[in-house]
Amino acid sequence: MLLKITILPGDGIGPEVIEEAVRVLDAITHAFGHEVSLARKNIGGAALLASEDPLPPDTLQACISSSAVLLGAVGAPSFDNLPAHLRPEAGLLRLRRELGAFANLRPAICYPALEDCSPLRAEVVRGTNILIVRELLGGLYFGEPRLLHGPTGDRAATNTMRYHEPEVQRIARIAFDLARTRRHSIVSVDKANVLECSRLWREVVTEIGRDYPDVKLSHMYVDSAAMALVLRPCDFDVLLTENMFGWHPPALGDRLHCMSRCMVRLPILLDKVLLTHWVQFFQSPCLCAIPSTWNARRLALSQRYPKFCIWGIGLATLRRTAGSPYRRQTWVNG
């Protein structure tokens, strides 16, 4: 079977990392006899420079007609002053919406070789294996109205957080189905003590949970969850969150990947023949990658200080801090 993949290198480090990802794909196709057709298209800032559109029509059409999409990264400081609809991120959000990509899977796994690179003590982070299931098409990112209005000196900004029951139901079922393949435990994260959206979220997730009696469901406020992740990361299995809580600090995604120092990502959309809605899952492989231009410096440091170095992460000497889950870090300059 021929697998059509649309390649979207994007901006910044995206092209560099995607180039290596394509080399991996090439090795896999040769090793296992697969047939893959790759089409490269622009998105984000690269598309703006080429066509003044962060998601050109030919890019969108290529993604829709493909079996899978491999995305790099979008955005750069040089585009920060553009109108909202022309910023690189607008292309990414449009792509998510057009593909119906509502489920974002964000694994955070601490491998033994990386334990000493975590800002947490090894005995705290050891064995961490968490899957964040983040709703991707609702909440503040897509709610309307959204506007900035009023005269200078008296301006007001409005964003709208909105969720409909079906949006919560479909992401909750994804999380529960995944939990059945893991350790049968879900923590649903919300802010139900303050936000009406979160109250609806909690009610709907609880209702869905009754269809999965073999999965243990609990609820936490996002601020409590962020603290618990630092103190007891191994207690968590699947974390179910709405759009905002799954990514931004002090939200959970960034915190987990900082803790584990290992951003394990699903690199492409799953093949559409395997899913009822093939565009449910949408991922980027390289948001926290390190440029290969640092390789020579890292290699020199690793040779000079081999006992402290983990390749691809950086070099640090770490000292324990009594009574705290954290480490003090001293970065070594070569």
Q: Is residue 123 part of a domain?
A: yes
pLDDT tens string 291-324:
333 334 444 434 443 433 333 333 233 333 344 5
Cα separation of the two ends of the chain: 50
Q: What percent of the chain has pLDDT over 90?
A: 52
Q: What is the pLDDT of residue 256?
A: 55
Whether 285 shows a pLDDT value over 90: the answer reads no
Domain count, the chain: 3
Shared domain for 136 and 244, answered yes or no, is yes
- Asked if residues 111 and 259 have their Cβ atoms less than 8 Å apart, the reply is no
- In this prediction, residues 64-71 reach a mean pLDDT of 90
Shared domain for 74 and 57, answered yes or no, is yes
Q: What is the pLDDT of residue 138?
A: 94
Q: Is residue 151 part of a domain?
A: yes
Q: Is residue 256 part of a domain?
A: yes
Confidence category of residue 247, pLDDT binned at 50, 70, 90: low
Q: What is the mean pLDDT of the chain?
A: 78
Shared domain for 109 and 150, answered yes or no, is yes
Q: What is the pLDDT of residue 297?
A: 41
The residue among 110 and 175 whose pLDDT is bigger is 175
Confidence category of residue 325, pLDDT binned at 50, 70, 90: low
Whether 195 shows a pLDDT value over 80: the answer reads yes
User: Any bridge partners for residue 316, and if so which?
Assistant: 331
- Asked if residues 39 and 6 have their Cβ atoms less than 8 Å apart, the reply is yes
Shared domain for 259 and 317, answered yes or no, is no
pTM above 0.85, yes or no: no
Distance CA 203, CA 75 (A): 36
Shared domain for 52 and 137, answered yes or no, is no
The one-character DSSP state at 192 is T
Shared domain for 161 and 277, answered yes or no, is no
The residue among 292 and 260 whose pLDDT is bigger is 260
Q: What is the pLDDT of residue 183?
A: 97
Confidence category of residue 281, pLDDT binned at 50, 70, 90: very low
- In this prediction, residues 263-275 reach a mean pLDDT of 31
Q: Is residue 182 part of a domain?
A: yes
Q: What is the pLDDT of residue 205?
A: 98
Q: Is residue 22 part of a domain?
A: yes
- In this prediction, residues 141-146 reach a mean pLDDT of 92
Q: Is residue 205 part of a domain?
A: yes
Whether 219 shows a pLDDT value over 90: the answer reads yes
Q: Is residue 195 part of a domain?
A: yes
Shared domain for 107 and 97, answered yes or no, is no
Shared domain for 87 and 132, answered yes or no, is no
CATH of the domain at 215: 3.40.718.10
Confidence category of residue 86, pLDDT binned at 50, 70, 90: very high
Shared domain for 112 and 214, answered yes or no, is yes
The residue among 117 and 105 whose pLDDT is bigger is 105
Shared domain for 137 and 240, answered yes or no, is yes
The one-character DSSP state at 269 is P
Shared domain for 155 and 261, answered yes or no, is yes
Q: Is residue 332 part of a domain?
A: yes
Q: What is the pLDDT of residue 12?
A: 92
User: Any bridge partners for residue 309, and if so which?
Assistant: 315
- In this prediction, residues 77-86 reach a mean pLDDT of 92
Task: Note down the domain range covering 312.
Answer: 300-334
Q: What is the pLDDT of residue 311?
A: 33
Shared domain for 36 and 177, answered yes or no, is no
Phi then psi dihedrals of residue 309, to 5 deg: -105, 135
Confidence category of residue 114, pLDDT binned at 50, 70, 90: confident
